[in-house]
């Protein structure tokens, strides 16, 4: 009998053994991009299409410990913690004991937490999960910063006792639609699945990437202020991705990682739409395709050779990026180069576009630095604002 079970176990092990290969799968690339940006991700898909298997492969590929928590079978206290009364609660307080999975991953210092069946969790459990996702706290335990959070949910129509996500919880995730590709499944059954790889962030590009991302998001929202916050009217829409200051910060992080890692445009587009929703996300993607901003660090290295973009939205986005780049690495040479760039807006007859950037740049001045000539065109504006005296 032992020989029979041993042979069966060996057979099952062989079936579970597989290899991976590089892939251009956009949904997997978008997941990896969001995980690299350390943003909570929520995978939406029908039951049985491989959401859990995809997360297991992602954790294995990254060499991270994985803790799977089935949200639908837990109570609010499992995330808020259970009170443990000490000898003198009036002095020490009453700590909230975290569950074992949180202790394990905190002890590891890094890892991936996978909350499965999120849409099957009742509203009280979803409310308790808010603190885990937003503050990264489970009971009295704070999760280490390197810990990533991914969740999965079935549409309420196909989930057992499904609930729509509450707007506060939904607005804390990047929402990705998880579908199956028949060809990928067929190849997987042959023993080869697509590999999940985190984008490689180039340290030399970090400062410039952050500055470019700030310019893009600030420029877009200046042009489309109505999209800063838009809560959908219907319950289903509120339980998905929609624009808010919180999700625009997600877009900022996604853009910065994508720029620093040279991520694919398709992966970035999927992740951006997953953060702010279809309407706002499609507008941002279109905006990005037409923007094509120069690298602000390269411009600051040789400001005299720079030609200001002709379109107003590009001008605003670029000048914002320039100021952000200077703020990230403030030196007298870069600060003076910034004024050379802003002066070109005056020469182009659009000083109003550079007004905000000029005020921010003036506020960075070290009192030991002389006032550059390029500041003259903005002198009246700066004196009115009290930035320069």
Beta strand pairing call for 82-83 and 96-97: antiparallel
Q: Which two tokens stand for residue 149?
A: 């959070």
Among all chains, which residue has been given the structure tokens 């660090």?
Answer: 297
Euclidean distance between CA atoms 365 and 195, whole angstroms: 49
Instruction: Check residues 79 and 273 and name the one with the higher pLDDT.
Output: 273
Which pLDDT score is estimated for 162?
A: 67
Q: Which two tokens stand for residue 174?
A: 């990047």
Euclidean distance between CA atoms 63 and 60, whole angstroms: 5
Determine whether 97 is exposed, middle or buried from the number of CB atoms within 10 Å of its CB (0-12, 13-18, 19+): middle
Instruction: Describe the chain by its helix, strand, coil percentages, rounded to 5.
Output: 60, 10, 30
383: confidence class by pLDDT, cuts 50, 70, 90: low
Query: Are residues 121 and 129 in contact, defined by beta-carbon separation less than 8 angstroms?
Result: yes
Q: Which two tokens stand for residue 302?
A: 């040789």
CATH domain 40-172 topology: Rossmann fold (3.40.50)
Which pLDDT score is estimated for 157?
A: 65
- For 154, phi then psi, to 5°, come to -95, 145
385: confidence class by pLDDT, cuts 50, 70, 90: very low
Residue 389 has pLDDT above 70, yes or no: no
Picking from 81, 83, 89, 53, the residue whose alpha carbon sits closest to that of residue 68 is 53
* H or E, element range at 18: none
Picking from 212, 208, 277, 207, the residue whose alpha carbon sits closest to that of residue 248 is 277
Using one digit for the tens of pLDDT, what is the confidence trace for 101-149? Answer: 999 999 999 999 999 988 888 889 988 899 899 899 998 899 999 999 9
DSSP state of 2: H
Instruction: Check residues 283 and 348 and name the one with the higher pLDDT.
Output: 283
For the chain, the average pLDDT equals 86
- Span 43-63, average pLDDT: 84
Euclidean distance between CA atoms 31 and 25, whole angstroms: 10
Determine whether 170 is exposed, middle or buried from the number of CB atoms within 10 Å of its CB (0-12, 13-18, 19+): buried
Euclidean distance between CA atoms 115 and 179, whole angstroms: 18
Q: Which two tokens stand for residue 184?
A: 């990928």
> Domain segments of the chain: what residues?
40-172, 203-385
227: confidence class by pLDDT, cuts 50, 70, 90: very high
- Span 247-253, average pLDDT: 97
Task: Give the chain's count of helices (H) and strands (E).
Answer: 19, 11
DSSP state of 228: S
Q: Which residues 6+ apart lie within 8 Å of 232 measured at CB?
A: 238, 240, 242, 277
Euclidean distance between CA atoms 334 and 357, whole angstroms: 14
Q: Which two tokens stand for residue 127?
A: 């409310």
* CB contact burial 330-359 (16+ within 10 A = b; e otherwise): eeeebbbbbbbbbbbbbeeebbebbbbbbb
Per the DSSP assignment, residues forming a β-bridge with 97 are 82
- Span 84-112, average pLDDT: 84
Residues in the chain, overall count: 389
Query: Are residues 70 and 117 in contact, defined by beta-carbon separation less than 8 angstroms?
Result: yes
Euclidean distance between CA atoms 299 and 355, whole angstroms: 19
Q: Which residues 6+ apart lie within 8 Å of 105 measured at CB?
A: 65, 67, 111, 113, 143, 147
Which pLDDT score is estimated for 193?
A: 82
- Of 125-129, 312-316, 346-350, the range with the lowest mean pLDDT is 346-350
- Give residue 232's Cα distance to chain centre: 21
Using one digit for the tens of pLDDT, what is the confidence trace for 155-207? Answer: 866 655 667 888 999 999 999 998 878 888 898 888 888 877 788 899 999 99
Euclidean distance between CA atoms 67 and 226, whole angstroms: 40
Using one digit for the tens of pLDDT, what is the confidence trace for 258-313? Answer: 999 999 899 999 999 999 999 999 999 999 988 877 889 989 999 888 888 877 77
Query: Are residues 62 and 196 in contact, defined by beta-carbon separation less than 8 angstroms?
Result: yes
């Amino acid at each position: 009998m032992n020989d029979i079970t041993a042979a069966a176990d060996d057979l099952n092990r062989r079936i579970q053994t597989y290899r991976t290969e590089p892939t251009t799968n956009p949904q997997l690339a978008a997941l990896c991009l969001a995980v690299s940006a350390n943003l909570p991700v929520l995978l939406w898909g029908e039951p049985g299409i491989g959401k859990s298997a995809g997360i297991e492969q992602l954790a294995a590929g990254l060499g991270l410990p994985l803790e799977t928590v089935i949200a639908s079978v837990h109570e609010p206290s499992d995330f808020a913690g259970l009170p443990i009364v000490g000898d003198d609660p009036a002095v020490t307080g009453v700590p909230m004991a975290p569950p074992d999975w949180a202790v394990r991953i905190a002890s590891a210092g890094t890892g991936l937490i996978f909350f499965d069946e999120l849409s099957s969790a009742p509203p009280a459990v979803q409310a308790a999960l808010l603190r885990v996702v937003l503050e990264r706290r489970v009971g009295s335990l704070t999760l280490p910063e390197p810990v990533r959070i991914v969740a999965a949910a079935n549409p309420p129509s196909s989930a057992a006792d499904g609930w729509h996500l509450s707007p506060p919880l939904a607005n804390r995730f990047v929402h990705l639609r998880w579908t199956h590709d028949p060809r990928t499944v067929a190849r997987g059954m042959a023993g080869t699945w697509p590999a999940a790889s985190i984008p490689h962030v180039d340290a030399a590009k970090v400062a410039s990437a952050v500055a470019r991302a700030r310019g893009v998001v600030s420029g877009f929202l200046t042009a489309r202020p109505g999209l800063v916050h838009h809560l959908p009217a219907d319950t289903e829409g509120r339980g998905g991705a929609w624009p808010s200051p919180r999700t625009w910060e997600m877009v900022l992080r996604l853009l910065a990682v994508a720029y620093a890692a040279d991520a694919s445009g398709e992966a970035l587009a999927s992740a951006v739409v997953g953060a702010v929703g279809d309407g706002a996300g499609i507008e941002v993607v279109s905006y990005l395709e037409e923007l094509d901003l120069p690298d602000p660090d390269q411009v600051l290295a040789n400001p005299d050779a720079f030609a200001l973009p002709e379109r107003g939205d590009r001008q605003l986005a670029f000048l914002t990026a320039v100021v952000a780049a200077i703020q990230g690495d403030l030196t007298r040479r870069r600060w003076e180069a910034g004024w050379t760039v802003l002066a070109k807006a005056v020469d182009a007859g659009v000083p109003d576009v550079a007004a905000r950037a000029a005020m921010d740049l003036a506020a960075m001045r070290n009192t030991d630095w002389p006032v550059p000539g390029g500041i003259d065109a903005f002198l009246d504006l700066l004196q009115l604002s009290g930035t320069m005296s």
